[in-house]
């Protein structure tokens, strides 16, 4: 008794496998690249500068009354900075201007007096 009783079964199986592999190859090769835009419509911040000649700075205000540890504050500031950079990636001219003029590191005095 042969492993495959008829050569027609083997031919049908081979043809189906070949067609499936070829179609998968062409579908994966010629599919469109996914949209790499990080920020979708409707995710814009409420306050944005419309004029590209405006001054751009990243300002982080930290509230002392929240009683967060220093590491948690640093992590939140890091997340905010990365999110701002990711948003600026969609506008290369703005990003270049921000990188050139916006990196001024200043430490502001607390806004509210201590009680």
Task: Return the pLDDT at 19.
Answer: 94
Query: How many percent of the chain have pLDDT more than 70?
Result: 60
What would the pLDDT profile of 53-84 be if each residue is shown by its tens digit?
A: 666 677 788 888 888 888 888 898 889 888 88
Task: Return the pLDDT at 21.
Answer: 94
User: Residue 36 in contact with residue 89, Cβ under 8 Å?
Assistant: no
Confidence of residue 95 (pLDDT cuts 50, 70, 90): confident
What would the pLDDT profile of 4-28 be if each residue is shown by its tens digit?
A: 566 778 888 889 999 999 999 888 8
Residues 6 or more apart whose CB falls under 8 angstroms from that of 61 comprise 111
Q: Where are the domains of the chain?
A: 1-31, 40-109
User: Residue 10 in contact with residue 4, Cβ under 8 Å?
Assistant: yes
User: Residue 56 in contact with residue 100, Cβ under 8 Å?
Assistant: no
Task: Return the pLDDT at 2.
Answer: 55
Cα separation, 34 vs 23, whole angstroms: 20
User: Residue 62 in contact with residue 73, Cβ under 8 Å?
Assistant: yes
User: Residue 60 in contact with residue 109, Cβ under 8 Å?
Assistant: no
Task: Return the pLDDT at 38.
Answer: 58
What's the half-sphere exposure (Cβ side, CA atoms, 13 Å) at 17? 6
């Amino acid at each position: 008794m042969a492993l495959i009783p008829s050569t027609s079964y083997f031919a049908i199986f081979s043809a189906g496998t070949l067609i499936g592999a070829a179609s998968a190859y062409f579908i994966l090769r010629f599919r469109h690249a996914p949209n790499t835009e990080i920020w979708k419509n409707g995710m814009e911040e409420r306050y944005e500068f419309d004029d590209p000649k405006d001054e751009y700075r990243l300002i982080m205000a930290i509230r002392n009354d929240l009683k967060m540890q220093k590491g948690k504050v640093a992590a939140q500031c890091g997340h905010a900075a990365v999110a701002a950079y990711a948003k600026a990636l969609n506008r290369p001219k703005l990003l270049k201007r921000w990188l050139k003029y916006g990196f001024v590191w200043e430490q502001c005095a607390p806004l509210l007096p201590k009680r």
